[in-house]
Amino acid sequence: MFNLLIVDDEKLTREGLFENINWPDMNIGEVYTAPDGKEALALMLNKHIDILLCDVKMPHMDGIELATNVRAGYPDCKIIFLSGYSDKEYLKSAISLKAESYIEKPIDISEITNVISETVTQLQNDNLKKQSNDLLLSGLVESFPLVKQEIALALVLPDLDYDSFRAKYSPLYFTWDNSSLYAILCIHTDKKSLYNKDSRDLINAIYTFLESSSNPLPLDFFAGQTAGGDIALLINGTTGNALESAAALLREAIAEKLQLSVTIGISPVCNTLRELPRAYRQSCKAAMQSFYLGTGQIITFKNVHREKTLPERYFETLSINLDSTLQVFSFLEKEQFSDIENVRKHLYTLYKSMMERTLNNNLMSFEDFEQYNLGEIRELILEGMRAFQTLGNDLYDLKIKEAIHFILWNYNNCDLSVKTIADHVGLSQNYLCSLFKQNTNVTVNDFIIQVRMEKVKKLLKGTDLRLYEITEKVGITDPNYMSALFKRCCGQTPSQYRHSHPR
């Protein structure tokens, strides 16, 4: 995933671009914004930016000056200019700064989307080429295994110059014909963030297996580790069941040698070298199906469903409770949407919401969360949901458990009241209050206050939010009233509490 920075002095333009483009679909992970060139440069000191999307005319520092600084300090950053001015001098500056594109305002979202998609493709190609060039510059080109890695990475490039490629590697290192039976395995490390060994150990283990007597595959292969950490294994002359059997043996060899789980995606067989880039993409898509099918699998491309994406705003329409969450996972398991990163991000939002409302401080980072497959995420979220659903002493009346559950999921709603809770659980207000006090020994309103004050404490300790922002997050409209409640419940003002609990 790549990072992008939007720089424009018009707030509506910045917000419009940020909100109206489906960034994950274009392999954009983080999107940052800045109102002018000075703030953009300051932000780039702390954030890695791959694509700069900037206006030309801005106060303090215009787009041309910003791009000049960026080109000097961050030469690999791709620059796209936006401007409402068709000025030849600006166009000349853009050309001299090697900008990717120059888009005139008013902005056409489809035009920007196309330009950014093309820029992301260029970045991906640059990364693959850089990895190949790094091998050349290492001074170890004469080492045959490294040359084989370089060849593997070159062959999966979509824009490979085959004449130059053959001139460089044939016949000493490369003897494959233009036409044969080729296949690619994408070897994907499961739980990457939990794997702390040197990445070279994995490719060494693969080479050890491929060169051993237990390998049923021909020795005519090339393997290289891509920028994303996956291994591309290119094989000549083996197809069908033999390929799947060999992949299973390779998976077991890696597990035995490194105590490491891998998923292996197998491409369809292709007949020419020029089909290898497409075959590699297909093997990667097969390996990504481990999100739905489970890790540690051998997955062929025939297991990949047709391209279909998660319906827009699907998660926004959900009620957050156990039943609807079960329906979500059943739906995802059945449909197996191809935009897996988008699905995973929505599930992480659901997970965070569940953790936040249960006042649980042990929030998993997204880096760790994205190592989980759908089945593991399902159990992770449903475990919290079930615990949440059964809150309270076993002797609590079922209606009171339901009321507690409703309060914990809705404490941040300023309209939460005895009436809304009573309506939800199907009791009269008077009977709810009586039964709640009888079961919990506190009143409904006092319980709501306790929950809200616990959340206030968490936000005071763990964030730099201002008091009015915290007040809004816990469903209270008046900061002064919230401060008085906090002082009554905790014996300190919010400011005193924050000061006594430094981060």
Question: In which region does residue 313 sit, left (phi positive, over 0), alpha (psi from -120 to 50) or beta (all else)?
Answer: left
Give the Cα separation of 411 and 392 in Å (integer).
Answer: 17
Report the CATH number at residue 189: 3.30.70.270
Q: Which residue stretches of 192-289 are H helix?
A: 199-210, 240-258, 276-288
Looking at the domain assignment, is residue 461 inside a domain?
yes
Let me know the angle formed at the C-alpha of 121 by 236 and 289, rounded to the nearest 5 degrees: 55
Buried b (16+ CB within 10 A) or exposed e, 111-150: ebbebbeebbeebbeebbeebbeebeeeeeeeeeeebbbb
Among candidate residues 260, 276, 303, the one where a domain is terminated:
303
Say whether both 285 and 172 belong to one domain: yes
DSSP code at position 307: P
Say whether both 224 and 339 belong to one domain: no
Cis peptide before 106 (omega within 30 of 0): yes
Give the Cα separation of 414 and 237 in Å (integer).
Answer: 67
Total residue count of the chain as it appears in this document:
503
Instruction: Give 55's strand partners.
Output: 82
Say whether both 230 and 273 belong to one domain: yes
Report the CATH number at residue 59: 3.40.50.2300
Say whether both 156 and 292 belong to one domain: yes
Looking at the domain assignment, is residue 133 inside a domain?
no
Give the Cα separation of 434 and 246 in Å (integer).
Answer: 68
What number of other Cβ atoms are within 10 A of residue 152's Cβ?
24
Looking at the domain assignment, is residue 278 inside a domain?
yes
Please identify which residue in the block is written with the tokens 């709640």: 436
Say whether both 150 and 273 belong to one domain: yes
Cis peptide before 59 (omega within 30 of 0): no
Prediction pTM value: 0.52
pLDDT for position 28 = 94
Say whether both 156 and 191 belong to one domain: yes
pLDDT for position 193 = 45
Looking at the domain assignment, is residue 132 inside a domain?
no
Give the Cα separation of 30 and 23 in Å (integer).
Answer: 8
Among candidate residues 364, 389, 414, the one where a domain is terminated:
389
Looking at the domain assignment, is residue 182 inside a domain?
yes
Say whether both 192 and 220 belong to one domain: yes
Q: How many domains does the chain have?
A: 4
Q: Which residue stretches of 97-108 are H helix?
A: none
pLDDT for position 92 = 64
Give the Cα separation of 37 and 7 in Å (integer).
Answer: 7
Looking at the domain assignment, is residue 310 inside a domain?
no
pLDDT for position 192 = 59
pLDDT in tens, 426-468: 999 999 999 999 888 889 999 999 889 988 998 898 788 889 9
- pLDDT tens track, the chain, 503 positions: 899 999 999 999 999 999 999 999 999 999 999 999 999 999 999 999 999 999 988 888 888 899 999 989 999 999 998 887 655 566 667 666 778 888 888 888 899 999 999 999 999 888 887 776 665 545 444 456 778 888 999 999 988 998 899 998 888 888 898 888 899 999 998 865 444 455 677 878 887 887 777 777 666 789 888 877 889 999 987 767 788 888 888 888 888 888 888 999 999 999 999 999 999 999 999 999 999 988 888 999 888 877 889 998 888 777 666 778 888 999 999 999 999 999 999 999 988 887 776 555 668 889 889 888 998 898 788 766 665 555 544 557 888 888 887 888 788 899 999 999 999 999 999 999 999 998 888 899 999 998 899 889 988 987 888 899 899 989 999 999 999 999 998 899 999 999 888 76
Instruction: Give 32's strand partners.
Output: 5
Say whether both 333 and 412 belong to one domain: no
pLDDT in tens, 190-239: 865 444 455 677 878 887 887 777 777 666 789 888 877 889 999 987 76
Looking at the domain assignment, is residue 185 inside a domain?
yes
Looking at the domain assignment, is residue 293 inside a domain?
yes
Say whether both 142 and 245 belong to one domain: yes
On the CB side of 197, CA atoms within 13 Å amount to 15
Range of the domain at 174: 138-303
Say whether both 286 and 344 belong to one domain: no
Please identify which residue in the block is written with the tokens 């099918």: 293
Say whether both 163 and 281 belong to one domain: yes
Say whether both 298 and 384 belong to one domain: no
